Chains A and B, each alone.
Chain A
């Protein structure tokens, strides 16, 4: 069983995970904190005509911004509890499957690109750019919405719970990295613990922002919706870019931008026993150096060094050569590369977030 630091996983959830997940799953959370239906058993239904009209006006105002209001934090709590349970079970399942099945970089890239396109389209829908983007809105199955509406007594809890469970279907980039880790653990218990601590870590961000959204009114609420849409748009582009980098696409936006900027000085290879050696440090913030140079026609030994590295950079991929490895938290791992023709060997983390290149001259 590989060593996994659950505390670090919790902190990853608390920091990056919370924000990236919110970008993808924020829509479900927003839906969870809304109460669009007046239930026959709810106090509102028995209220005076005036109170009902007031409530309808409040709902109408909320509709203009796409975010609606619940007056208390309970829907957020139910949503998060259901999400935690769902992901813990998923972690156990992935851990159990771990020895049997492995996500390839191409599969990961396809998932990232689909998620990226979905996020961009969702953001464009939120910004009301064109009616065509309405088609990307996830509409829960009618059977489910009926069930939600008919559960009069548990209405307040039921919808957020269903929505919380549904977050399993749209994991964010960081969550996917954790899922890969859970698969890699090849242990149902460890897989469950990885996902539990990660999702627990993401919960405070969800709770604070979710609760805040319920407290915002008027112009602030409109601004919150607008800012959320822009954030989803930006993260969608990042996910798309990461997916393109993973399949080694030369037109990945970050690669195009990098080619326009002046190339940083490249680290040179050192000859050892007829093999040219290069070292790349995998850190919490990516790979250093990001540009390395080697000569064609001579085998390359690429040393990957880690020193208390817990982030995504540990999952190392060279798409073109089919290299895929998980580095130890601390240590040095050699990757043997046969003599190459002149060209470029791009490397990246398994999520396509961090990258670098070996230029073969």
Chain B
């Protein structure tokens, strides 16, 4: 289990937070996702043997936002 931060662009309201968290948590292997509207990131806790960061980024993109791994 790892915890990683993803920088997100395009969250315009707190409704977007729900959208991002929902999209990521729907992925098998994701334990929890916590997005922060004010600071525009999401912390995701996931099982790295079942899901990859790229899949998480893709799920966020499918909800209409851009994401990348925080440096």
Contacts and interface: CB of A to CB of B under 8 A. Distances in A.
Given A40-B26, A56-B62, A137-B37, A66 B12 contact: yes
10 contacts: A38-B63, A56-B63, A59-B64, A63-B64, A64-B10, A65-B12, A66-B12, A137-B38, A145-B21, A149-B22
Contacts of B12: 63-66
Contacts, number: 69
Interface residues of A, number: 30
A56 B63 CA distance: 6
A139 B17 contact: yes
A31 B13 contact: yes
Interface in B15-35: 15-19, 21-23, 26, 34
Contacts of A66: 12-13
A137 B14 contact: yes
A26 to B, nearest CB: 12
A215 B62 CA distance: 23
Interface of A: 27, 30-31, 34, 36-38, 40, 52, 56-57, 59-60, 62-66, 68, 131, 134-135, 137-140, 142, 145, 148-149
A84 to B, nearest CB: 23
A59 B63 contact: yes
A68 B15 contact: yes
B64 A60 contact: yes
A140 B18 CA distance: 10
Given A37-B18, A149-B18, A137 B64 contact: no
Given A56-B62, A59-B64, A134-B38, A37 B19 contact: yes
B22 A36 contact: yes
Interface centre among B16, B21, B39, B64 (most CB of A within 10 A): B64
A34 B15 contact: yes
Nearest to B25: A149
Given A56-B63, A60-B64, A63-B65, A36 B16 contact: yes
A36 B62 contact: no
Nearest to A32: B15
A145 B18 contact: yes
A108 to B, nearest CB: 28
B15 A36 contact: yes
B18 A63 contact: no
Contacts of A149: 18, 21-22
A56 B64 contact: yes
A135 B23 CA distance: 23
A140 B14 contact: yes
Contacts of A62: 64
A64 B16 CA distance: 11
Contacts of B64: 56-57, 59-60, 62-63
A38 B22 contact: yes
B55 to A, nearest CB: 16
A137 to B, nearest CB: 5
Contacts of B10: 60, 63-64
A311 to B, nearest CB: 34
Contacts of A52: 62
Nearest to A137: B14
Given A63-B16, A66-B13, A134-B40, 6 more contacts: A36-B22, A37-B19, A65-B12, A131-B38, A137-B37, A149-B18
